[in-house]
Structure 1
Amino acid sequence: MTIRSDAREAETAAFLAAHGLADAAREPLAGDASARRYERLRRPDGSTLILVDTPVPAEDLVPFVAIGAELAAIGLSVPAILAADVDRGLALQEDFGNETFSRLLAGGADPRPLYALATDALIVLHRGWPAGAAPRLRLPAYDAALFVEQTRLFLDAYCPVALGRPLNGDERSGFETAWSAVLEPVCAGAPSLLLRDYHVDNLMRLPRPGTAAAGLIDFQSAGWGPRAYDLVSLLEDARRDVAPDLAEAMAARYLAAFPETDADTFRRAMAVLGAARHTRIVAIFVRLAVTQGRRSYLVHLPRVWRLLEAQLAKPALGPVAAWFDRHLPPAARAAFVVPETT
C-alpha cells in the first residue's frame, strides 16, 4: 500500500472539507497495479461516495471524466463525477458498491448472464460510439506501432530474467518484425473505442435495466483501436479461467449483432490481439514481482502462458510463434520460476 505524505493528506482533508465531507468516515479500498488510490467515504446519513486520488491526473482523472461523459451519452453506466480538483488529482465519484462481476463469480453466480451482459455492453459501445469523439478527446490510436511498442516490455522485463541475459539487437529486431507482420492487418479495419482493461474486475452489477446494469470502471487508458481487443480481454482473462464453451458462445453472440462483420477476420483479430495482450501481461506481472516485490501476481502466470500458447498455435500468429520457438525454450516459459530479486 502506498504511504501518503503529510502534505498529501492535508490536501485531501482540505478537499473533503470543501465539499462538506470533513466528518465522513474513510475506508481504503483495494487498488490495482496502478498508482491510483481509492477510499469509500461514508456520510453520517449512511450514503457513500468514492474518493479518487491519483498522482498523474493528466493521464488518469482528465481522460476518465471526458471518456465517461461520452460513454454515459450512449446509455452505458459509468460513475458520475460529483466534484474534482484536477490540478491536485482528487475527485469524488458515485459509489457503484461492491458487486464486481469477479466477486459475484467467486460467490457462485452463474457466469453466463454476467458474460452476456458484458458482451452486450460492448455491442452497445461499438454500435453507438460517435466517430467524432476520437479527435475531440484526443484519444491515443491503438495501431500496429503502438501494440508493437507495448509488446517490447516483454523483451525488457521478462526475457532478461528468464534467459539470464539481455537480448541482442537481432533478437529484438526479429521480435518487433514478427509482431508488426501479424498486427498490421488486424489494425487496418474500422476502429472504435478500445477500453483496454475490459474484464470482470472492472465491471460492476448495478440495479438498472438492460445493459445499464453493467457498471464500467477503470477506462481512463482507453484509446481508438480494433473492436476485437476488448472482447478478447473479457473472454481471455489473466486472472480467472473462462470456460471455452462460454467464451465461444459470447464471441458468437457478439458477431451475431454485427452480421456485416466477417467472422473469420474478426476471430483472427481476436487471436492476434489476445496474444499481444498476454505477452505484455506476462511482462507486467514479472516486472511487478521483481522490481516491487508484488509476487501475488505470479499465481496468474501459468494461466496467461496457457492463453498465449493457445494463440501462438494458430496460423495467424505464425511469425511470432517462430520467434518464440527460436528464442524462448519451453523451460523459459510457463515453468520458469521467477527469482525473488534480480
Structure 2
Amino acid sequence: MAGTVLERFLADEAATARLGEDLAMALRAGDAIALKGDLGAGKSTLARSLIRALADDANLEVPSPTFTLVQSYETRVPVHHFDLYRLSSPDELDELGLDDALSQGAALIEWPERAADRLPENTLWVELAEHGEGRVARLSGQGPVYERVARSLAMRDFLATAGWGDASRRHFVGDASARSYEIVALANQAPRVLMNSPRLVLGPPVRDGKPYAVIAHTAQSVTAFVAIDRALLAAGVSVPVIHAQDLDQGFLLIEHLGSEGFLGHAGQPIAERYEAAAELLAMMHGKAWPERMEAAPGVFHDVPPFDREAMLIEADLLVDWYVPWITGGPASDALRTGYHQVWNAFLDRLAASEYTLMLRDFHSPNIIWRGERAGLDRLGIVDVQDALIGPAAYDVASLAMDARVTVSPKIERRTVAAYIAARRAAGAFDEAGFAEAYAIMAAQRNSKILGIFVRLEKRDGKPYYLKHLPRIRDYLRRALAHPALASLKEFYMAHGLLEERVP
C-alpha cells in the first residue's frame, strides 16, 4: 500500500454507508478497490452501499460473494464484487476473471491479502478498523483512482460545511469537460445539485505560445460560472440559485431546476419550446451586460470577448480534424491559407453587428423545460460558464441549428422569426444586419462542430458523435445559402467540404 493515507472516522453504520457512496461517485472502469478489515469491521456494509449507489437502487439485493467468490452487477459502472476468503492460491484469480473484470468495469475486493501481489499497482486500499465506539477507515494508494476518491471525500466535507453532510449522493450527469454533477438528497429538503468543477487543465501551446483553451476563452475555473450565473439570475433568467460555493476547490451546491428535457419524449424538437427559448434570448439581448461580474465579495470574472482569434481557432477545427478525416491526409497549406483569407473577410463584416452576452452553447442539452411555470420561467438554463461578449446572432444560431437534434428548416424559421418578433416589439431592430450575422455565426459554429465531432472520435475515442455529421453538414449548407455568404459557399464547395463523404 503506497502513497498518501486519508483517514475517516465512521461513527456508525450510516457513516460507513456514506463512505460507500463517496467511493461510488469516484469509481471508473478499470478501478480496483481492496477492502481490508477483520470480520465485523464493516466491509460488507461499505460494499453494499457502494454497489447500491452505483445502481441508484437503495433496496438492491447485494448478497455476500463468500461462496460464489464473485458477484457482478450491471450498474452505471459495471462492478464485480470479489470475496477472496476461500481462495487457496493467487493463481485462482485467473479463473475468477479479475483481469477481465477490470477491462470492462471496476473490482471491489474483500480479503485482498489472499491475492498476494496480483492486484494492480494503482489499487485503492481501504482498511477498516474498530476505533472507540465506531470505526476508522484508512484509504491509501496512488494514481487517478486515489485522486478521484480524495476529491470525492473533499466534496463530502464541502456538503458538511453547507449543512448537507448526511445527504445521499447519486450520479446525475457528466459533460464533455471534466465537470460532473450529482443529485444530493436530504430528508425534508428539495433535492439539490452538487457541481464538481475542477480547474481546467490547459493543453499544449497550439498558436503563438498559447493553448487552445486560452485562445478560445474557455472558462478555467468555477468562478466564471458563479459570476455569470449570479448576473443572469439578477436579470430575471432562470439559472440555478447557488446555495453554497467553494471557489478554490471548484465545488457548488446549487438549485435543481428539474429533470424534464427541452425536447419531446422521443427526442424530437418541439417548435413552441424553441420559440420560447428564442424569446428568452431576445429578452437577454435587450439588456446591457457588464463585462466584469462578481462571483464573491472582491472576486470578479472578466467576461472575455468572442474576438477574431477565438472565432478563427474554433473554425480551424474543421481544417485540423474534419479535412484529414474526409481526405485521408492533412490539409494543404494552400487550403489553410485560403480558408483563413475567406473567413477573415467575413469576420470583418461582423464588426458592425450587435454584440451582447452570448452563452455560447445555448441548445437543448443545456435547457430544462418546466411546463408547469409561466412565461420565460419555463426555461431553466444551465452550463453558462463559457459565456462571452460576442455577436447576438450566435446564440440564436446555436439554438435554431441545435447540434444534437434534427431541427427542420420550418422549425428553424419559426425559431428565428420568434426572436425577430420579440426584438421588434421591444424597439428598433436591424433585421437585415441580424440575418447576415446569423448566417456568418451559423457557418462558423457548424464548421467548428464538424471538427469537434471528428476530434471526439479520433482523439477521445467517442465514435458515436460521428452520427451527427450529416446533420451538421446540412446546417452548414443552410447557413451558406444566405446570398451574402456566396464567396464562402464557393470556397467550401470548391474544396469538397459540403459533400456527403464516408472516408
Q: Is the 2:184–2:194 Cα contact (8 Å) retained in structure 1?
A: yes
* Alignment partner, residue 226 of structure 2: 65
The match for 1:235 among 383, 392, 400 is: 400
State the 1:254 CA deviation.
1.6
Instruction: Tell me, yes or no, if structure 1 residue 106 matches structure 2 residue 277.
Output: no
- Give, as a single letter, the amino acid of the residue that structure 2 aligns with 1:189: S
- Give, as a single letter, the amino acid of the residue that structure 2 aligns with 1:275: A
In 2, Cα distance between equivalents of 1:258 and 1:120: 8
* Alignment partner, residue 83 of structure 1: 244
Q: 1:11 to 1:110 in 2, by over 3 A?
A: closer
Instruction: Tell me, yes or no, if structure 1 residue 334 matches structure 2 residue 493.
Output: no
In 2, Cα distance between equivalents of 1:329 and 1:247: 23
Instruction: Tell me, yes or no, if structure 1 residue 140 matches structure 2 residue 304.
Output: yes
Q: Is the 1:59–1:221 Cα contact (8 Å) retained in structure 2?
A: no
Higher relative contact order (CA 8 A, sep 6+): 1
* Alignment partner, residue 464 of structure 2: 296
In 2, Cα distance between equivalents of 1:78 and 1:172: 40
* Alignment partner, residue 151 of structure 1: 315
State the 1:321 CA deviation.
2.2
In 1, Cα distance between equivalents of 2:269 and 2:480: 30
What secondary structure, in the 3-state scheme, does the structure 1 residue paired with 2:252 have? strand
Per-residue deviation, residues 166-225 of structure 1 (Å, max 9, x unmatched): 223332121111111112212422311111101122111234332122111111100001
Runs of 4 or more consecutive aligned structure 1 residues displaced over 4 Å after TM superposition: 107-110
In 1, Cα distance between equivalents of 2:190 and 2:497: 55
* Alignment partner, residue 454 of structure 2: 286
* Alignment partner, residue 45 of structure 1: 188
State the 1:106 CA deviation.
2.8
State the 1:40 CA deviation.
0.6
In 1, Cα distance between equivalents of 2:478 and 2:292: 36
State the 1:19 CA deviation.
2.2
* Alignment partner, residue 160 of structure 2: 17
* Alignment partner, residue 382 of structure 2: 217
State the 1:96 CA deviation.
0.9
- Give, as a single letter, the amino acid of the residue that structure 2 aligns with 1:159: V
In 1, Cα distance between equivalents of 2:281 and 2:379: 10
Instruction: Tell me, yes or no, if structure 1 residue 121 matches structure 2 residue 280.
Output: yes
State the 1:51 CA deviation.
0.8
In 2, Cα distance between equivalents of 1:284 and 1:2: 27
* Alignment partner, residue 261 of structure 1: 429
Q: 1:109 to 1:286 in 2, by over 3 A?
A: closer
Moved more, 222-231 or 109-118: 109-118
Instruction: Tell me, yes or no, if structure 1 residue 182 matches structure 2 residue 346.
Output: yes
* Alignment partner, residue 340 of structure 1: none
In 2, Cα distance between equivalents of 1:310 and 1:109: 20
In 2, Cα distance between equivalents of 1:224 and 1:273: 14
- Give, as a single letter, the amino acid of the residue that structure 2 aligns with 1:70: A
* Alignment partner, residue 93 of structure 1: 254
The match for 2:357 among 164, 174, 193 is: 193
State the 1:110 CA deviation.
8.1
Q: 1:321 to 1:108 in 2, by over 3 A?
A: closer
Q: Percent identity?
A: 34
State the 1:55 CA deviation.
1.8
Q: Is the 1:40–1:50 Cα contact (8 Å) retained in structure 2?
A: yes
Q: 1:107 to 1:156 in 2, by over 3 A?
A: closer
- Give, as a single letter, the amino acid of the residue that structure 2 aligns with 1:53: N
State the 1:272 CA deviation.
1.1
* Alignment partner, residue 84 of structure 2: none
In 2, Cα distance between equivalents of 1:228 and 1:110: 20
In 1, Cα distance between equivalents of 2:391 and 2:340: 19
Moved more, 253-262 or 114-123: 253-262
In 2, Cα distance between equivalents of 1:173 and 1:263: 32
Per-residue deviation, residues 147-170 of structure 1 (Å, max 9, x unmatched): 122111112122223222222333
Higher normalized helix content (fraction of residues): 1
In 2, Cα distance between equivalents of 1:151 and 1:15: 40
Per-residue deviation, residues 307-335 of structure 1 (Å, max 9, x unmatched): 112222333223322332233366xx433
Q: Is the 2:240–2:254 Cα contact (8 Å) retained in structure 1?
A: yes
State the 1:253 CA deviation.
2.1
Where structure 2 has 5 or more consecutive residues not aligned to the other structure, the ranges are 1-25, 29-144, 201-218, 294-300
Instruction: Tell me, yes or no, if structure 1 residue 273 matches structure 2 residue 433.
Output: no
The match for 2:334 among 126, 145, 170 is: 170
* Alignment partner, residue 41 of structure 2: none
State the 1:135 CA deviation.
4.2
In 2, Cα distance between equivalents of 1:110 and 1:242: 6
In 2, Cα distance between equivalents of 1:289 and 1:2: 23
In 2, Cα distance between equivalents of 1:110 and 1:237: 9
State the 1:46 CA deviation.
5.5
Where structure 1 has 5 or more consecutive residues not aligned to the other structure, the ranges are 338-342
State the 1:61 CA deviation.
1.5
State the 1:265 CA deviation.
2.0
In 2, Cα distance between equivalents of 1:106 and 1:245: 20
Q: What is the Cα-based RMSD across aligned positions, in Å?
A: 2.2
Q: Is the 1:194–1:223 Cα contact (8 Å) retained in structure 2?
A: yes
Number of residues of Structure 1 aligned to a counterpart in Structure 2: 331
Question: TM-score normalized by structure 1?
Answer: 0.89
Q: 1:169 to 1:110 in 2, by over 3 A?
A: closer
- Give, as a single letter, the amino acid of the residue that structure 2 aligns with 1:126: H
Instruction: Name the larger-Rg structure.
Output: 2
State the 1:127 CA deviation.
1.2
